[in-house]
Every structure is written in structure tokens, then in C-alpha cells.
Amino acid sequence: MIKNLTSMVGPVLTVVLSMLHASCAGSNGQPWPSGDSSYVFATPDARFDLKKDLKEISGLTTLKDGTLAAIEDESGALFILDPTSGDVIARKKFAKRGDFEGLELAGDRLYALRSDGRLFMMDDWSGADIKSKEEKLDLPKRCDAEGLAFDGSRLLLSCKEEPGKDLKRVKAIYSLDPATMKVSDDPAFIIDPKEFSASVKDHAVNEAVRSVMSERVDLSGFKPAGMAIHPITRELYVVSSVRQAILALDRGGNVTKIWALPDGLMEQPESIAFLPNGDLFVASEAGGGKSARLFRFNYRVSGSESQP
């Protein structure tokens, strides 16, 4: 069954002067925040310039020893990174050149996703040489696969472009059973950017407020680029490089948080990963005369935070 996002109907938006806690109501009658204080994206807790080999960094995941693993979208190489400096600890080849976009550790296996829907599996990736196995996935045509995440039992794969299944103007995230390599018939999650944009226009109380609120929750142009499961709340975080925003989904497919990333902070945010304590890493490609960068945002736990 397709799990749709909550339809945006309900009361007029309540706007506070700081604009930090604006919210609106979904069809279930429960409000969701347009942003919260779990992460302060305006002020990264650390940022690192990455080597030229990673100028097109496209995938990021956390390894069990606390280091990070990364890929970039041309070389078919795996990079092991020091999370305290962004330095490359090791570089290992796992495939021929290709447009690689997603990377995820699931159990003891590393998965790398190519944009054409081919999945590369690495079991013995900690040694000097990597031997990978390749599987062609049954994803929608023109899906342009990018994001990859693991929720403990299944892999999640996002389509940056066409969602498939006669769906239009939405973005789809499919699930994959690692045991059978079968992709779900229907999307596990659907993101409908138009619903959020329309809600702001319908419920904002005046033109001035509408212009501010649209910047905070408007998801028009949102295209999933990277995904990761929050280790504490178990929400699925999705980053868009085009819209430069991050949203979080609960296990029912409902949007729980939305952040618009600050203008000028990142050239092209492509991938995200979490440490076990909830600290978030965001990797951005090079551009505009800047090198590729790795940003760290510490997790700020709220005393009233609920667990989905």
C-alpha cells in the first residue's frame, strides 16, 4: 500500500515573531513543525574542506568503528574518512567508473547505488582489495536513483526524477528486500511538494507572512538526493540538493520536520549520515570556487522530544 504524506488542511497558521516555531495541521489533526531546534543549520559545529578526489562526493554512511565511508559520482572508489578532520584514511576501488550516488552500510555489507538502478554489494570491503557484486534493480524508468538508506530490515531507494506507477508530480521512495533483491511494487514513501507549497499560500495570514513562511516550508523543486535513518528517533531524513532542504518522515510516511538550509552555506548538499549519538553529517559537492565540504551538526535533544 502506498503511504501518502498527510494532506495539508486545517487551521490558520499560528505565527510567532521569531518565526522559529510556525506550524500547520495535517489531516490527522496533529500539528507538525516546519522546523525545530534538533539541529542548528545556520551554524555548523564543524566544517571540513575535502580533497579534490571528492569534489563530486555523492554518498555517505557511518561505519561501525565511527569512521565515515564516502563515494563520489565518477570513479567507483570507496573513501574512508576521519569524522574529526574529513581526511581520507583509505581509498579503495570497488567498480569501474560510473554515476554512483548512494552509499549505505547494512549489517556487515556496504551497498553502493548507481543512478541507472544498479546496486553494488561489498562484503569484504575492509581489506586491501574489494570485490563487489552487481545487481540490476527493477526501478521505474527514468527514476534517476540517488538516495540509499537502511531501516534495519530493508533498504530504501529514492527516485530523484520519475516516480513510476502512473504517479505524477511527486517523489517516490521504494523499499528493497536485501535477501531477495526485490523492489517493492509500490513506493514505501511519497513526497508531494505541491501539498506543502499550497498549504502555505492558503493559510498564511497576509502577504508579508506568506513570503517568510514560503521560505521555511515550500518544497517546490524538492528532489531527494541523500537519505539516512536517525539512530534515535528512527525517522527517515531526506536531503534535496536542488531545493536545499532537509525533511524528516516518520515510519507512517508523515512529514515531522522540515528545514530550509541557509543560503550560501552549501554549494550542492548530496548526502547525509548520522553518528550513533544523533550528530548529523552533510556532504556538499564542490562548486562556485569552493571545494567539496563536510559539515557536522550536533544533535540537540529536546526534553519534550517524543520517539516515533
For residue range 113-123, what is the model confidence (pLDDT) as tens digits?
A: 999 999 999 99
Tens of pLDDT along 29-47?
233 445 578 999 999 999 9
pLDDT band (50, 70, 90) for residue 12: very low
Q: How confident is the model at residue 228 (pLDDT cuts 50, 70, 90)?
A: very high
Q: Measure the CA–CA gap between 31 and 21, rounded to whole angstroms.
A: 11
Give the whole-angstrom CA distance, residue 82 versus residue 66: 9
Q: Give me 115's grid cell.
A: 543512478
The CA-based angle 111-258-307, given to 5 degrees, is 75
For 91-120, b where at least 16 C-beta lie within 10 A, e where not — what string?
A: ebebbeebbbbbbbbbeeebbbbbbebbbb
> Which residues, at least 6 apart from 54, have a Cβ–Cβ distance to it below 8 Å?
70, 72, 79, 88, 292
- Residue 56 to residue 76: CA distance in whole angstroms: 12
pLDDT of residue 155: 98
Question: What is the enclosing helix (H) or strand (E) of 212?
Answer: helix 207-217
Q: Is pLDDT of 2 > 50?
A: no
Give yes or no for a contact between 11 and 25, defined as CB atoms under 8 angstroms apart.
yes
Average pLDDT, integer, range 12-33:
31
User: What value does the mean pLDDT of the chain take?
Assistant: 82
Distance between CA atoms of residues 207 and 224, nearest Å: 29
- Residue 16 — pLDDT band, cuts 50, 70, 90? very low
Region 219-229: mean pLDDT is 90
| Side chain identity, residue 185 | D
pTM: 0.83
Return d(Cα 255, Cα 191) in angstroms, integer. 9
Question: Could you read off the pLDDT of 147-188 as tens digits, one per residue?
Answer: 999 999 999 999 999 999 889 889 999 999 999 999 999 999
Rama region for 115: left / alpha / beta (φ>0; ψ in -120 to 50; rest): alpha
Helix axes 193-203, 207-217, angle to 10 degrees: 160
Query: What structural domains does the chain harbor?
Result: 23-297 (2.110.10.10)
Pick the range with the lowest mean pLDDT from 84-93, 150-159, 185-194.
185-194
pLDDT value at 138 more than 50: yes
The one-letter amino acid code at 178 reads P
At 194, the pLDDT band (50, 70, 90 cuts) reads confident
**pLDDT (tens digit per residue) in 67-78:** 999 999 989 999
CA angle (182, 188, 193) in 5-degree steps: 135
